[in-house]
């Protein structure tokens, strides 16, 4: 009993021992009966066992009944509860061997059936004897008593059988659920008891001939019912299969729409990361233009125009005029520096806009097209990712450590790798911002893990990751940020898989920082 708890084990042994005691007592009582009685017991038990091989399924239920109860109930009326207990145990033995491979069920089922039949049958016998003593014996009352007995036997036997799984799961008895599951079985038992009672009436009038004649009729009816319900089950299975197929088609359609939505959110998330840098560049250019020294050039031109008729004397003898050439020289240098800075910012802005275009193109081809690989220096990609997030890192009390092994140009999907790196660096920055009082360190490491793989590690000293979150950090929609959406890391892990790599995370816990490792196939540029 490896799956039995203590309560279930105690109950199983108690019921089995009680059932064994009932069977022992029944055999002892039957030993003193006549050969005719023994013949009745053997015949009814054999018929019950044969009937147990052809069950009739309760409509829209997992339960079934057999014709065996008819012969067992008849045996109860003819020979008493001891004989019926023996027949019930024989029928339950066949049923348990047909439906279960567990030795616990094959032992307990006959014991439970015998216990339930003996208990309910003894109550019926006591009630009938009380009616006889008071002169109230009547066929109508006998029929009513048999039906009540059938319901009692149904309740007791079903409760005994279902108690084991409920004890194993520590579930209380739910009367409504019990009746929903087994109510049909009680009705079937009542019907069998009615048939058995009518056979008993006929037996009293005409002897065994009526019972023998009724047996093939009962067998034909119940066999017909068996095959009818089997056909109903087959049709029900076909209907459910069609419904399941339709549900699967709908699920596929829903998954397609969900995938389209996920791609859209990934695009927005990744474009948003780059737009942060675009906004910074635009602000810097706007500030440079607004505060440009070009405005001072107008003042110098105005002075020259005012002294145009004596420009030589003004530049030679006037104190302000003598400073004008030097001022113009310095102004030219300042304007040249401004031009260079603006040009550099415009180059960054252009590069980021181009990166946005590539993000959109990559995501559009994400579901179908194969990755576009090209020779890439991984260190250059890391530096590009840093430039995209550089403005946000500046002034954050973060020390940047670069630990790069010498790695040749590799065949990589440039923009997918860049998307992953931008997300990882941005996440590291956010993790460190949540501990603003500490001095932080962002470590970027490139190393060859083995002859076939390259590792890019982004490690921070930020807030860290709780152990229960490590297993779901890459799940779609999972985030620990108040304003997060849970798209970034999910899209990163998908992109890594698309490239034949993987993305993993390690953290010692809250406040201990985290390290994300991007592992990619180590494919060097093929010689031309």
Look at the alpha carbons of 99, 104, 110, 114 in this order and tell me if their dihedral is positive or negative. negative
Q: Note the pLDDT tens digit of each residue in 442-489.
A: 999 999 888 888 999 999 999 999 888 888 888 877 777 666 666 678
> Can you give the pLDDT at residue 515?
94
Say if 231 falls within a structural domain.
Answer: no
Residues 105 and 174 placed together within one structural domain of the fold: yes
Residue 367: pLDDT band (50, 70, 90) is very low
* Residue 151 shares a structural domain with residue 65: yes
HEC-encoded secondary structure of 314-369: HHHHCHHHHHHHHHHHHHHHHHHHHHHHHHHHHHHHHHHHHHHHHHHHHHHCCCCC
β-strands 453-460, 410-412: how paired?
A: unpaired
The dihedral through the CA atoms of 77, 80, 83, 87 has a sign that is: positive
pLDDT tens profile 240-269: 888 887 776 775 565 445 545 544 655 666
- Whether 364 has a pLDDT exceeding 60, the answer reads no
The owner of tokens 């109508």 is: 140
Instruction: State residue 403's pLDDT score.
Output: 93
- Cα-based distances in Å from 360 to 51, 366, 508: 70, 10, 36
Domain boundary among 327, 345, 364: 364
| Claim to verify: residue 324 and residue 436 sit in the same structural domain | no
User: Do 397 and 343 share a domain, yes or no?
Assistant: no
Q: What is the CATH number of the domain that holds 127?
A: 1.10.1760.20
In a domain, 243, yes or no: no
In a domain, 213, yes or no: no
Average pLDDT (21-26) is 90
* 46-103 confidence digits (pLDDT tens): 877 776 666 655 555 555 556 677 878 888 888 888 888 888 888 888 878 877 788 8
- pLDDT, tens only, 283-340: 888 887 777 777 777 777 777 787 777 777 777 887 777 787 788 888 788 888 888 8
Q: Is residue 102 part of a domain?
A: yes
Query: How many alpha carbons lie under 13 Å from residue 158 in its C-beta half-sphere?
Result: 22
Range of the domain at 327: 264-364
* Residue 215 resides in a domain: no
Look over the chain and give the mean of its residue pLDDT values, rounded to a whole number: 78
Q: Which of 190, 206, 222 is the last residue of a domain?
A: 206
User: For 326-346, what is each residue's pLDDT tens digit?
Assistant: 888 887 888 888 888 888 888
Longest dimension (CA), the chain: 155
Residues 489 and 394 in one domain: yes
Q: Counting Cβ atoms within 10 Å, is residue 196 exposed (0-12), middle (13-18) or buried (19+)?
A: buried
Whether residues 296 and 379 fall in one domain = no
- Whether 1 maps to a domain, the answer reads no
Q: What total number of domains does the chain contain?
A: 3
What is residue 404's predicted lDDT score, i.e. its pLDDT?
Answer: 92
Instruction: Give dist(CA 124, CA 112) in Å, integer.
Output: 18
pLDDT digits (tens, 9 = 90+) for 200-232: 888 777 776 666 666 666 666 666 655 666 676
Q: How far apart are CA 128 and CA 140, in angstroms?
A: 12
* Residue that wins the pLDDT comparison between 416 and 68: 416
Q: Which residue has the tokens 């576009």?
A: 372
pLDDT at 52: 66
Q: Is residue 369 part of a domain?
A: no
pTM: 0.45
């Amino acid at each position: 009993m490896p799956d039995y708890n203590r309560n279930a084990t105690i109950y199983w042994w108690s019921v089995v021992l009680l059932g064994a005691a009932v069977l022992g007592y029944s055999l002892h009582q039957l030993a003193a009966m006549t050969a005719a009685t023994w013949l009745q017991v053997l015949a009814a038990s054999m018929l019950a066992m044969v009937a147990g091989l052809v069950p009739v399924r309760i409509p829209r239920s997992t339960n079934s009944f057999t014709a065996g109860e008819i012969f067992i109930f008849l045996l109860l009326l003819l020979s008493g509860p001891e004989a019926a207990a023996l027949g019930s145990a024989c029928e339950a033995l066949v049923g348990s061997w047909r439906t279960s491979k567990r030795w616990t069920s094959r032992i307990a089922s006959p014991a439970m059936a015998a216990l339930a039949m003996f208990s309910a049958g003894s109550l019926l016998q006591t009630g009938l004897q009380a009616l006889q003593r008071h002169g109230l014996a009547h066929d109508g009352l006998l029929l009513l008593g048999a039906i009540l007995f059938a319901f009692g036997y149904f309740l007791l036997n079903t409760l005994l059988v279902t108690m084991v799984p409920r004890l194993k799961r520590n579930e209380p008895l739910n009367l409504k659920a019990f009746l929903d599951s087994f109510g049909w079985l009680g009705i079937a038992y009542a019907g069998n008891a009615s048939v058995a009672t009518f056979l008993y009436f006929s037996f009293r009038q005409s002897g065994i001939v009526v019972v023998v004649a009724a047996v093939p009729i009962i067998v034909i009816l119940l066999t017909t019912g068996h095959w009818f319900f089997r056909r109903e089950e087959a049709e029900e299975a076909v209907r459910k299969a069609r419904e399941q197929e339709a549900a699967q088609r709908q699920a596929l359609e829903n998954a397609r729409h969900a995938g389209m939505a996920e791609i859209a959110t990934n695009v927005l998330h990744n474009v948003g990361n780059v737009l942060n840098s675009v906004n910074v560049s635009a602000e810097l250019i706007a500030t440079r233009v607004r505060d440009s020294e070009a405005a001072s050039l107008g003042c110098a031109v105005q002075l020259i125009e005012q002294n145009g008729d004596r420009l030589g004397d003004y530049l030679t003898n006037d104190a302000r005029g003598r400073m004008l050439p030097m001022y113009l020289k310095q102004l030219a240098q300042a304007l040249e520096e401004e031009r260079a800075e603006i040009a550099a910012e415009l180059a960054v802005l252009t590069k980021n806009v181009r990166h946005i275009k590539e993000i959109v193109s990559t995501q559009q081809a994400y579901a179908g097209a194969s990755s576009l690989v090209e020779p890439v220096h991984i260190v250059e990609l890391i530096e590009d990712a840093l430039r995209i997030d550089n403005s946000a890192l500046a002034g954050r009390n973060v020390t940047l450590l670069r630990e790069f092994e010498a790695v040749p140009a590799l065949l990589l999907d440039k923009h997918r790798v860049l998307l992953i790196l931008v997300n990882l660096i941005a996440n590291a920055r956010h993790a460190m911002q949540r501990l603003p009082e500490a001095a932080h360190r962002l470590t970027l490491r490139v190393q060859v893990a083995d002859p076939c793989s390259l590792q890019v590690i982004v490690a921070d000293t930020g807030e860290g990751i709780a152990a229960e979150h490590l297993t779901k950090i890459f799940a779609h929609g999972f985030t620990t940020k108040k304003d997060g959406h849970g798209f970034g890391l999910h899209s990163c892990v998908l992109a890594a898989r698309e490239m034949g790599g993987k993305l993993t995370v390690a953290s010692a816990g809250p406040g201990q920082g985290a390290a994300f490792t991007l592992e990619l196939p180590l494919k060097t540029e093929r010689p031309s």
